[in-house]
């Protein structure tokens, strides 16, 4: 039997454990070793022929569903090699009105519509504005990232990784530049972070900020 991930569910592997992000619940869930083994087996060429008790429990929790759909596979990101914000180049400029509009709009969407709806809206905007074939323009992407970072200082809104990542990504998308938004986590102690990258170029943070996080969601 085939199984798939619902649109609102994704996960990443941290050693022998999986961390699931449920966008609808706006929560992260840590699976134990057995549940992680069950989930990873669903993405293997030879899937379980009949559901076991653990798989049935995962289905009841809404983490997986029977039938064809999005493959049951962990989120992966290209290894980061450099950060646009740590470049020696002092270029890049974005108008204050645009940065303020994108950041305030992203924050308002998260606050009033919730995480799942805000992500759904952003996903539609990305599909409308850019194509994956446009992602190979790291020079321009880095320039826009530095411009956003410099102008962001003058926007009177708290620095928060999720709305700022969505705002930066949309500044790139509206110029036809494909870039990915990732949510990642670390354990012991637990922490979560969101960032923007294009291939192996980090666009939203210095490298050391993101180094300890494993991606569990990709937009």
Question: CA angle, 190 as apex, 213 and 114 as ends, to 5°?
Answer: 85
pLDDT tens digits, one per residue of 82-126: 999 998 777 778 999 999 999 999 999 999 999 999 999 999 999
Rounded CA separation 26/14 (Å) = 20
Find the range with the poorest average confidence among 19-23, 41-45, 131-135: 131-135
pLDDT of residue 132: 55
Is residue 141 domain-resident?
yes
| Domain, as residue range, for 55 | 3-66
Residue 71 belongs to a domain = no
Is residue 15 situated within a structural domain?
yes
Q: What percentage of the chain has pLDDT greater than the value 90?
A: 66
On whether both 116 and 203 belong to a single domain, the answer is yes
Strands 214-218 and 180-186: antiparallel
Residue 132 domain-assigned (yes or no):
yes
Tell me, yes or no, whether 41 lies in a domain: yes
Residue 10: both structure tokens together: 């994704």
Q: How far apart are CA 1 and CA 50, in angstroms?
A: 7
Tell me what pLDDT residue 90 has.
Answer: 74
List, for residues 117-169, the tens digit of each pLDDT value.
Answer: 999 999 999 988 876 555 545 578 999 999 999 999 999 999 999 999 999 99
Kindly report the average pLDDT of the chain as a whole number: 89
Any domain includes 73: no
Q: Are residues 51 and 142 in the same domain?
A: no
Do 38 and 92 lie in one domain? The reply is no
In the 8-state DSSP scheme, what is residue 30? Answer: E
- pTM for the model: 0.90
pLDDT of residue 55: 86
In a domain, residue 72? The reply is: no
Residue 48 has a pLDDT of 58
Across residues 36-61, what is the average pLDDT?
A: 78
Indicate whether 47 pLDDT > 60: no
**Strand-strand pairing, 191-198 and 27-31:** unpaired
CA distance 68 to 57: 19
Highest mean predicted confidence (pLDDT) among 58-62, 68-72, 127-131: 58-62
**How many domains does the chain contain in total?**
2
Question: Is the pLDDT confidence value at 74 over 90?
Answer: yes
Strand residue runs (E) in 26-64: 27-31
């Amino acid at each position: 039997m085939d199984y798939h991930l619902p649109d609102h569910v994704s996960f990443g592997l941290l050693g022998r454990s999986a961390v699931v992000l449920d966008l609808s619940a706006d929560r992260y869930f840590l699976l134990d070793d057995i549940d992680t083994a069950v989930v990873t087996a669903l993405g293997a060429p030879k899937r379980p022929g009949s559901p076991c008790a653990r798989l049935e429990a995962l289905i009841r929790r809404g983490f997986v569903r029977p039938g064809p759909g999005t493959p049951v596979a962990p989120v992966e990101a290209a290894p980061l090699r450099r950060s646009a914000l740590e470049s020696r180049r002092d270029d890049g400029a974005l108008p204050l009105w645009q940065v303020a509009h994108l950041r305030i709009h992203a924050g308002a969407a998260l606050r009033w519509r919730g995480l799942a709806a805000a992500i759904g809206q952003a996903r539609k905007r990305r599909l409308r504005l850019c194509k994956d074939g446009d992602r190979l323009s790291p020079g321009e992407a880095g320039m826009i990232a530095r411009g956003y970072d410099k102008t962001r200082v003058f926007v009177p809104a708290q620095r928060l990784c999720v709305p700022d990542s969505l705002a930066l990504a949309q500044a790139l998308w509206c110029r036809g530049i494909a870039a990915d938004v990732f949510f990642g986590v670390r354990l012991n102690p637990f922490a979560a972070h969101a960032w923007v990258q294009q291939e192996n170029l980090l666009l939203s943070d210095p490298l050391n900020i993101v180094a300890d996080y494993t991606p569990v969601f990709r937009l």
